[in-house]
A and B are shown apart, each in its own frame.
Chain A
Amino acid sequence: MPPTKKKRSRRRTLRQILGGVRRRVRRAAGGARRVWRRSLQLQVVTSTLVISVIVVVVLGAFLSTQINKSVIESRAQSSLSEAYADRLQIADALTPPTDDQAKVADGGTLSGNPLDDVMDTVTGSSEDGSKKRYDVLILNEASPGMSRASGTVVPTNVPHSLSARLRDNVEKLEYGKTIQAIERITFNGQTQPRLTYVVGGIVHQQGNGENFEVYHFFPLDEEEELLSNVRLAIVVVGLGLVLLLAAIAYLVARQVVTPVRLARQAAERLASGKLDERLKVRGEDDLARLANSFNEMAANLALKIHQLEELSQVQRQFVSDVSHELRTPLTTVRMAADLLYDAREDFDPMAARSAELMQAQLERFESMLADLLEISRYDAGAATLDLDPVDVRQVVLRAIEDSEALAERHGTRFDLRLPAEPCMAEIDNRRVERILRNLLFNAIEHGEGREIVVTVGADRDAVAVAVRDHGIGLKPGEDTMVFDRFWRADPSRARTIGGTGLGLAISREDATLHGGWLQAWGQPGEGSQFRLTLPRMAGAGLKGSPLSLVPPEIEMRRTWRGAMTPVLLPASGDLHEED
């Protein structure tokens, strides 16, 4: 079945192409939308374009209508005058001459038929006549040989409605009324209809009661061409105007937007820590004043930040100094306490218990002091890494081994999920082990005796260790606060395993020192998960983590719920709380 395969393959290809096109279009639309949202200049130009197009269209239509009206009206007026003058001439010529006139005619050069003579005059057909720009039709169907026409006009060229109304007027004896119409008429010998202004009137002969229908055909070609040219000019000028307005809007917007853009870039640089960033101040306008204000604000901010940095430095130095200073008396106290502790058997129970308590609190005090010293080293930027290629699985196992005693005390069991292949990475073994130990102690402390899942994952670039507990979990927002120094989820709860409150903060610093991430996830009632992600090669940037921050079972549950009732579900935080 190779053809079928080919077809399928073709179909797939076509579908893929269509999909690709759709994706590109969507991407382009998204890009355009993004550009539109981000560019004030584009918004101003587009708005100007739209408004100016509307204005130009409205004005152009109004202008065109006015010009059309005035041209046609003036042409109609002059045509009516010409037609009226012609009808007067015709009426005069057709009136039977008086005796005196007859004598003049006998001696003159007039031909026998007065209708011919007047038509010669009206149409310019006489020897000294010149061609008129209109044609004339005289119709008298009641008398033989009393109908004439000039040019190519024939009686069928007269619009029916016009001749009908003219004949109505005759029946009503309203001979003075003129009927007019503008029609497209195809004259003999022409293929295209011509726009023509037709004027119809009656010449009534009082003597014999005969009526001559006189039609004038005024071509409107020139007017049509003129108006067409005017319309074209309006369109071209309107288009030019719109483009000009758009260009003006572009320039004006640019004048305004460019300083604003510069101010934004300066603000961004300022925000990224370049406190020396300042704007150039040109002139005295509003934008110049904005730049001045910005510069003042930046200067004040820099001053404040400098002051705060100094204060912070003083504080860090103080903590460091205090920690160092405390070590010497603490060592002495420790030695004394050790002696007392060793001799507690000899003391009465009360004193023995006091010696034990003192020993325990001294140990905690020492570890707190050690943590304080460690963190002050980070603050001073003195922390360094001692890197070795290490199998992370071994580090995890060692940390678990260190934590087993504590886990047993809490009745907690570890579920280890390690890959079969070694997970080699360039790390500081001591620090990573400390991180993991901190995470495990933390999980045991908050795991409420439930199972702790430790997962190790690796990919080409990174290794990750996730520690999952099923304790009370974290409230929204606490996933970042847990790394703060001396932070407690519930201040009323006592520390059961003697944590210093600096463990996670130090762990975060350790991870960051490796160029890695230490992140937390948690939901109330669902427990929490901490994920440590480290690059395999020291100094390489992380692009992702081999393990998901959200535990897979939680992720699956979310997906399943989302697929079933995507609309009706309440916000996820509320749902977890209900759970």
Chain B
Amino acid sequence: MRRIRRLGAAIVLAAAVTCAGTGCTVIPVSGPYTMSEPGAGDPLTKPFQRMIATSPQPSWGPEQTIRGLQAAMAAYADDPTVLPQYLTAEALKAWTPSGAVTVLDEPLQFDPPEPGGAEPVQRITLSAKQVARIEEDDTYVPQSGNWERPFHLVKVEGVGYRVSQLPDGLILTRSDVDRAYRPTKLYYLNGSTQDRVVVDNVRLRLKPAETYAKVILERLLKQPSGALQGAASTAFPAGTKIESVRFGEDEHVVVNLSGPLDLLDLSGEDALMAQIRYSLNNNDVAKGRGISVLVDGEPYTSYQPDADDQRWLDNSGNTAFYVSKGAVHHMTKEGPGGAVAGPAGEQRQGYSDFAISKLATHVAARTSTGISMAPLTTQGGQWQEVIRGDDLTPPSWHRDGSLWTFDQKNRVVLRYDPAGKRGPIVVSAPELDRLRLDVTRLRIARDGVRVAVITGKNTVQVGALTTMGGLKLANFRPLTTTEEGNEILDVAWRDDEHLLVLAQSKAGQILNEINVGDGEVAEIPLKDRLKVLAALNEQVLAEAFGEKGKGPKILQLNEDLSWTSKIDSDVESPLFPLG
């Protein structure tokens, strides 16, 4: 017993000495410990600054008043109380902020009123270069050209100038847009196959009291912008509301919904989660975080960041193909590969403009009499002419397995579905019909929704395959136009947003990468003359004219925008599945 007591006393003494020792240290040296990574700040929002509108001052002249009015327009969404102070009662009554937002480049030029004018109404003209228009559906439409608008101001004794007439809508500067708007990618579901998400580029206005994540998700509840109207849909049932988006425990983002979502019906959970996940992560929000979706506080679905699920952005593999002497070959990392299995792998004359289907199961090519297709298998396949016509555009595969082309003679879009066991059917394209446009190329994007067409020789338009009221090609908008006399040689979808456009001008060839969402153009420098394009995300291949005696070659675009030769001679038509 005595020994135990002594041992106990020694332990107590040691503990007391340790406590006293550590008590003397302000921050004791300790560690190393294994810790879980804390989240770096709030992942749901991004800092931004806002314009603070100020009331018109009596000392301000007409120019300052218009500048103040413009600042009040920039702040209108956050504080709608200041702008009305710049307007007379009549102007305020007639004015409404709805309509497209005009985006002007700075500096703003003012045509000053006549000096010494004694009239009670002063007229001042604001002029600037217009850079864009933000539609009511949040589409950012690049614009060019000069913009000018006269303003009439009334001098009110003691309070300064007031604007007596103001056209509807808001006028913002580029700085205002950079400050308050964010280019945002929204992801909707492919309207026809519902197996892939489609990106919709919009400009969303930030709200001071809401996180960027909530702004994104609230917009996601609405229909996509005009370019995808009827072509893409949302997995959120009508009436769904975003109750909250918060950063929860375990670095999880918790989205709480309310509305008609049925907790027991999980048929749409994958699609809904895909929409939420890509719309947040691809806008640098909640990246690398898990996402939990609740409905009225009850768990509905969740996503773990380590789950490598890319099926909603499936591009059907990244195997490249090329054609050599009429035979389709695989392309390897080193360059040339073996011929594909089946009839397409045999050398044959008279076949051109090849296209590879989804999962590389079929190949299609144009002949002098129409479009033929063949399976990429060894078992008994052969070339089969599926669309007849002597003036068809090169074929393009849709991810649903159908083959598309434009009959230039009859000016109709043709679709052949191998699974349908019927002949090609005509797909309505009202806008192309109405303008009687001459379509020389039709390429369906890998998302199965967007369609790029070359109309005439020098215009590229982008439309969408809409499903409302039957399948049709609609929503066409001009993407780029070259000058008269120039020619657009080829287009290729690099990814869901970017289209490569190869144009021939008198000065030489130009290869541009154009964002179909906001029209942003990035030029890719060229060294050789190109003929045909093929692209899939980072991989860009092109058929270039070869040196004399060697025939065409295939080039590859590097990350530093330089070109290197992939296969040197007697090869043509680089290919990727779809696109």
Contact = CB atoms under 8 A, between A and B. Distances in A.
A145 interface: yes
Contact of A129 (B47, B71, B174): B47
Interface stretch (B59-67, B361-369, B447-455, B483-491): B59-67
Given A149-B50, A188-B209, A113 B60 contact: no
A188 B208 contact: yes
Nearest to A113: B175
Contacts of A155: 52
A113 B47 contact: no
Given A139-B52, A152-B209, A154-B79, A145 B47 contact: no
Q: Closest 10 A-B residue pairs measured CB to CB?
A: A189-B209, A144-B68, A145-B71, A147-B52, A144-B67, A112-B106, A131-B47, A152-B208, A119-B49, A141-B54
Query: Mostly helix, strand, loop or mixed at chain B's interface?
Result: loop
Contacts of B67: 144-145
B492 interface: no
A545 B151 CA distance: 120
Interface string B31-68: 00000000011100111111111110101100011011
A124 B64 CA distance: 29
A149 B179 contact: no
Nearest to B86: A144
12 contacts: A119-B49, A141-B54, A142-B57, A144-B60, A144-B67, A145-B68, A147-B53, A148-B51, A149-B50, A188-B208, A189-B209, A189-B210
B178 to A, nearest CB: 7
Contacts of B117: none
Residue of B60, B64, B106, B179 most packed against chain A (CB within 10 A): B179
Contacts of B69: 144
A448 interface: no
Contact of B175 (A116, A140, A190): A116
Given A154-B79, A188-B209, A145 B48 contact: no
Interface in A129-179: 129-132, 137-145, 147-152, 154-155
B49 A131 contact: no
A494 to B, nearest CB: 80
A123 B53 CA distance: 18
B56 to A, nearest CB: 8
Contacts of B60: 144
Interface string B95-106: 000000000001
Contacts of B74: 145
Nearest to B53: A147
Interface of B: 40-42, 45-55, 57, 59-60, 64-65, 67-71, 74, 79, 106-107, 173-175, 178-179, 208-210
Contacts of B52: 137-139, 147-149, 154-155
Contacts of B209: 152, 188-190
Q: Is the interface of A mostly helix, strand, loop or mixed?
A: loop
A68 interface: no
A79 interface: no
Q: Among the interface residues B42, B55, B69, B178, which one has the most CB atoms of the partner chain A within 10 A?
A: B178
A111 B175 contact: yes
B79 to A, nearest CB: 7
A130 B284 CA distance: 13
Nearest to A144: B68
Contacts of B41: 130-131
Contacts of B64: 143-144
A120 interface: yes
A144 B65 contact: yes
Contacts of A113: 106, 175
Nearest to A187: B209
Contacts of A142: 57, 59
Given A151-B208, A155-B52, 17 more contacts: A111-B174, A112-B107, A116-B49, A116-B175, A123-B47, A124-B47, A130-B40, A131-B46, A139-B52, A140-B54, A144-B54, A144-B71, A145-B68, A150-B47, A150-B48, A151-B47, A189-B210
B301 to A, nearest CB: 28
Nearest to B42: A131
Nearest to A145: B71
Contacts of B49: 116, 119-120, 123, 125, 148-150
Nearest to B54: A141
A113 to B, nearest CB: 5
B51 A145 contact: yes
A142 B58 CA distance: 10
A189 B51 contact: no
Contacts of B47: 123-125, 129-132, 150-151
Interface residues of A, number: 33
A104 B209 CA distance: 37
Contacts of B54: 139-141, 144, 147
A112 B208 contact: no
Nearest to B69: A144
Contacts of A138: 52
Nearest to A130: B41
Contacts of B107: 112
A138 B54 CA distance: 11
A152 B47 CA distance: 11
A238 to B, nearest CB: 17
Nearest to A152: B208
Nearest to B209: A189
Interface in A32-73: none
Nearest to B107: A112
Contact of B48 (A111, A125, A188, A190): A125
A138 to B, nearest CB: 8
Nearest to A156: B79
A237 to B, nearest CB: 13
A138 B74 CA distance: 16
Contacts of A150: 47-50
A30 to B, nearest CB: 44
Contacts of B79: 154
Contacts of B42: 131
Contacts of A190: 209
A112 B46 contact: no
B215 to A, nearest CB: 13
Contacts of A148: 49-52
A113 B105 CA distance: 12
A154 B80 CA distance: 13
Nearest to A150: B49
Interface string A435-452: 000000000000000000
A137 B173 CA distance: 21
B39 to A, nearest CB: 12
B138 to A, nearest CB: 21
Contacts of B174: 111-112
Contacts of B48: 123, 125, 150
Contact of B178 (A111, A129, A141): A111
Contacts of A116: 49, 175, 178-179
Interface in A329-359: none
A189 B55 CA distance: 23
Contacts of B106: 112-113
Contacts of A123: 47-49
Q: Which of B46, B48, B74 has the most CB of A within 10 A?
A: B48
Interface in A513-566: none
Contacts of A189: 208-210
Contacts of A129: 47
A125 B70 CA distance: 22
B42, B50, B68 — which one has the most chain A CB atoms within 10 A of its CB? B50
A143 B210 CA distance: 29
A67 B175 CA distance: 46
A112 B51 contact: no
A124 B45 CA distance: 12
Contacts of A111: 174-175, 178
Nearest to B173: A112
A123 B175 CA distance: 16
A179 B40 CA distance: 32
Contacts of B178: 111, 116
Contacts of A140: 54
